[in-house]
Chains A and B, each alone.
Chain A
């Protein structure tokens, strides 16, 4: 009796674990960004109704921005990873035919390095935005300094993102064209 009751409890725990899995419904990146903006606006309205200080509204805006930036980096990295995965698969296909994919492998390594640069600078931007949210009520001078660092990191990450896109569209595409010419 005791055993069966506990066994039910054990399976209950296992099913509770599976219900914690993320939902599989497809929600677009833009829809998720929009939802965060709406939530932040609602939180702002609630804070205003409570009569909080303006720095707390600023902190609320920055936290919304931080949430959006999590979506952005996940979305971008998924896209970059999809390109790298396919390029890797192409290299495997070529090598399985006893041909050299050295040039393609080198291009994949360079693209991966550029993605890493983007990840680093965008993560820095996210860290600065979160820091700005946390110190928003410490005084405007301190807030300005952190926001300035966040802007700088954001510009750097944009530069890194452009380097990723440029390399994929120019250099990596060129390598694939030379592979096709080699087949002919």
Chain B
């Protein structure tokens, strides 16, 4: 009777022990997936977007057109110095 009880106790403890070990392993895996350094890098995403959008049939004239169109998107206001003036910064 006592031996049978001991066996049941041992089996129960073994099951609980294995369950806890598996649980810890899964949690560790989940945490790794969440915090791994390469999980959240916008540059990589940008690069992959650029790669997928890269046209395959570029010609000399289409490149010239791209240069004109792309540079036309740029804004001279990017170099406006007035935001750093004494007046803007309220420097006396």
Contacts and interface: CB of A to CB of B under 8 A. Distances in A.
A165 B71 CA distance: 7
Contacts of A143: 89, 91
Interface in B67-86: 67-68, 70-71, 73-75, 78-79, 81, 83-84
Contact of A72 (B34, B45, B64, B78): B78
Contact of B34 (A13, A62, A87, A93): A13
A150 B50 contact: no
A86 B89 contact: no
B49 to A, nearest CB: 10
Interface of A: 1-3, 5-7, 9-14, 16-17, 20-22, 29-30, 54, 57-58, 61-62, 65, 72, 76, 78-79, 81-83, 85-87, 89-90, 93, 129, 140, 143-144, 147, 150-151, 154-155, 157-158, 161, 165, 168-169, 172-173, 176-177, 179-180
B60 A179 contact: yes
A79 B89 CA distance: 31
Q: Which 5 A-B pairs have the closest CB atoms?
A: A10-B30, A176-B60, A158-B79, A13-B30, A6-B23
Interface of B: 19-20, 22-23, 26-27, 29-31, 33-34, 39-40, 42, 45-46, 50, 54-64, 66-68, 70-71, 73-75, 78-79, 81, 83-84, 88-92
A61 B90 CA distance: 10
Given A58-B90, A58-B91, A89-B58, A3 B66 contact: no
A82 B69 CA distance: 11
Of B27, B33, B40, B60, chain A has the most CB atoms within 10 Å of the CB of B60
A1 B64 CA distance: 64
B31 to A, nearest CB: 7
B61 A176 contact: yes
Nearest to A16: B34
A173 B43 CA distance: 29
A interface majority secondary structure: helix
A10 B40 contact: no
B15 to A, nearest CB: 10
A20 B22 CA distance: 27
A147 B33 contact: no
Contacts of A158: 78-79
Nearest to A62: B89
Contacts of A165: 71, 74
B55 A89 contact: yes
B61 A180 contact: yes
Contact of A82 (B31, B70, B90): B70
